[in-house]
Amino acid sequence: MQKRILAYGRLSEAQLAQLDRDFEVQTFPGLESADDPAFLAALPKAHGLVGSGLPITLELLDSAPNLEAIATISVGYDGMPVDELTRRGILLCNTPDVLTETTADTGFALILAASRRVVELADFVRRGDWQASIGEAQFGSDVHGKTLGMIGFGRIGAAVARRGALGFGMRVLYSNASPKPALEQELGAERRTHDSLLAEADIICVTVPLTAETEHLIGAHEFGLMKPSAIFVNIARGRVVREADLIAALEKGQVRAAGLDVFEQEPLSPESPLPHMPSVVALPHAGSATYETRDAMAQRAVDNISRALQGQRPISLVNEAAWRP
Ligand code: DGY
């Protein structure tokens, strides 16, 4: 009997054909909630799930007693009950590496856009307000030669820092749980305590994963330490930052501008003032959203689920403890 996969992510024809060769595949395009009656009916016989954005609840797991593996089409797995999956022997696979450079590109796009007021000035032109040479009221801040402070120095953080150090002649500071001697060597990066980095950096970019330790890592105290000219960028997870404190810091001029790809609530609430603030560049969680990278992420998830259900070690396994070779 072929194992069954429920696919609710965006997979290409070729990727679906790859799964079809070895498995029985049922697709649920655009599925956002497990309440879909067809999905609920399919869960009891499912061996694998592949997709992103679907909350994996205990109720869902109870309805899927044959589940062996979940391949999320994302590097982040902060919404996943990892311990519970491990307890049930369900493998959780994610998609690191293939999105690193694209997400770093987004980080740098936000650094440039927020520093040089790209969106605000483009809107100024679009509205027809460009009637005379621009003056100080429209000036931005330099990026090249500035001090870039990376909060988190994993794969994506290092890729952002590489762009800063090698492309823009920036000095790189980082705060991270462990030292990164190879990156210090490569980029001349210097490790700092969290607080000294916040006080010293001109541009602060957050790339830490969301965990119990990093939730609300940046709040009023941290914004208070930053330079009034600081540019703040978050490409990690919205809940790493106390959003109300960020809004207050921008309103008080405690920081100059922010580039944000992630928010405490996504999609962003229509009541949020953030997208209306001229000093904010807001993106719709688009860090990895390119044709090439989303395709590569889907391919990684397809390879992960195929290997997991065929008894081979998935390429990117989150919960090692659940792996029984
Ligand atoms: C990820 O892969 O975790 C990115 O944030 C896109 O969801």
The model's pLDDT over 217-267, given as tens digits with 9 standing for 90+, comes to 999 999 999 999 999 999 999 999 999 999 999 999 999 999 999 999 999
Q: Calculate how far, in angstroms, residue 131's C-alpha sits from the geometric centre of ligand 1.
A: 41
Q: Calculate how far, in angstroms, residue 301's C-alpha sits from the geometric centre of ligand 1.
A: 13
Does the reported pTM lie above 0.85? Answer: yes
- Does the beta carbon of 288 sit less than 6 angstroms from any atom of ligand 1? yes
What is the pLDDT at residue 325? Answer: 82
Bridge partner residues of 203 (DSSP): 148, 231
Is residue 93 within 8 A of residue 298, CB to CB? The reply is no
Ranges of the chain with pLDDT below 70: none
* Active-site residue, from 4, 237, 256, 300: 237
Tokens (6 digits) for 235: 């490409």
What is the pLDDT at residue 49? Answer: 98
Query: For residues 173-185, b (16+ Cβ closer than 10 Å) or e, as one string?
Result: bbbbeeebeebee
Please name the residue that has the structure tokens 């311990």.
Answer: 83
What is the pLDDT at residue 88? Answer: 98
CA 288/CA 296 separation, integer angstroms? 10
List of domains in the chain: 4-98+292-322 (3.40.50.720), 100-282 (3.40.50.720)
What is the pLDDT at residue 1? Answer: 86
Helix (H), strand (E) at residue 111: helix 100-116
CA 148 to chain centre: 19
* Active-site residue, from 32, 190, 215, 266: 266
Instruction: Tell me the pLDDT tens digit for each residue of 277-312.
Output: 999 999 999 999 999 999 999 999 999 999 999 999
Q: Is 53 left (phi over 0), alpha (psi -120 to 50) or beta?
A: left
Pocket probe for ligand 1: among 10, 93, 99, the residue whose CB has the most ligand atoms within 8 Å is: 99
Q: Which atom of ligand 1 sits closest to the CA of residue 52?
A: 7
